[in-house]
């Protein structure tokens, strides 16, 4: 019985850092160019971000070679900023947009960059371990509607969950400013 439990536990841990079928992480990924602040333009809604707007993610290098992840969002209900700090590491090669991220303990989830502005790293399309996690990120608080539509279209082709779930638009309006870092 113990062997079955251990095998199941290992399977669950591994499945959380898998890549959804038909999703291909970007090649020639450059972590140095990816580091810095990203604004969440849209996402598929999940309980851990529900009610948050003006969400940002800031990526910096850790001393152990990993990436420090600092997510910040404004709770409209509580009228205050919330933060979550995590860590990320490459799952395979460091030039492939495939990382695992953890915000609590030894549990990791996939962070798969499957579309990116290859020249200037101004936008990215990211999914998690399955098709129910999806984010459109930008270096700017707002994104041109044409580009946003292109990214949503790509997401719809690869993440069928979009047909069943709503995309939450989370661009940063001018009237509520981000806290100073």
Report the alpha-carbon distance of residue 152 to residue 167 in Å, rounded: 9
Cα dihedral value 148, 151, 155, 156, nearest 10: 70
Nearest CA-CA partner of 134 in 117, 104, 157: 157
- Return the number of other C-beta atoms located less than 10 Å from residue 10's C-beta: 10
What is residue 105's predicted lDDT score, i.e. its pLDDT?
81
Q: What is the pLDDT along the chain (181 residues), one digit of tens a residue?
A: 443 333 333 333 444 888 888 899 999 999 999 999 999 998 887 887 888 999 999 999 999 999 999 999 999 899 999 999 999 999 999 999 999 999 988 899 999 999 999 999 999 999 999 878 889 999 999 999 999 989 988 888 776 655 444 455 555 443 434 443 3
What is the distance of C-alpha 163 from the center of its chain? 20
Cα angle vertex 159, ends 95, 15, to 5°? 60
**Helix, strand, coil abundance in the chain, percent, nearest 5:** 20, 40, 40
What is residue 140's predicted lDDT score, i.e. its pLDDT?
95
Spatial contact of 126 and 114, defined as CB atoms under 8 Å apart: yes
Cα angle vertex 32, ends 26, 38, to 5°? 75
8 φψ region: left (φ > 0), alpha (ψ -120 to 50), beta (else): alpha
Spatial contact of 55 and 44, defined as CB atoms under 8 Å apart: no
What is residue 22's predicted lDDT score, i.e. its pLDDT?
85
């Amino acid at each position: 019985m113990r062997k079955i439990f251990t095998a199941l536990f290992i399977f669950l841990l591994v499945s959380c850092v898998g890549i959804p079928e038909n999703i291909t992480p970007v090649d020639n990924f450059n972590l140095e160019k990816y580091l810095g602040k990203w604004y969440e333009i849209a996402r598929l809604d999940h309980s851990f971000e529900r009610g948050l707007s003006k969400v940002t993610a800031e990526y910096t290098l850790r001393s152990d070679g990993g990436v420090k992840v600092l997510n910040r969002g404004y709770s409209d209900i509580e009228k205050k900023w919330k933060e979550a700090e995590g860590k990320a590491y490459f799952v395979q090669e460091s030039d492939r947009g495939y990382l695992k991220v953890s915000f609590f303990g030894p549990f990791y989830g996939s962070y798969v960059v499957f579309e990116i502005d290859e020249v200037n790293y101004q936008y990215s399309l990211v999914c998690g371990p399955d098709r129910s996690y999806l984010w459109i990120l930008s270096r700017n608080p707002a994104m041109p509607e044409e580009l946003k539509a292109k990214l949503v279209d790509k997401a719809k082709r690869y993440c069928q969950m979009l047909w069943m779930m709503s995309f939450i638009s989370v661009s940063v309006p001018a009237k509520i400013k981000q806290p100073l870092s």
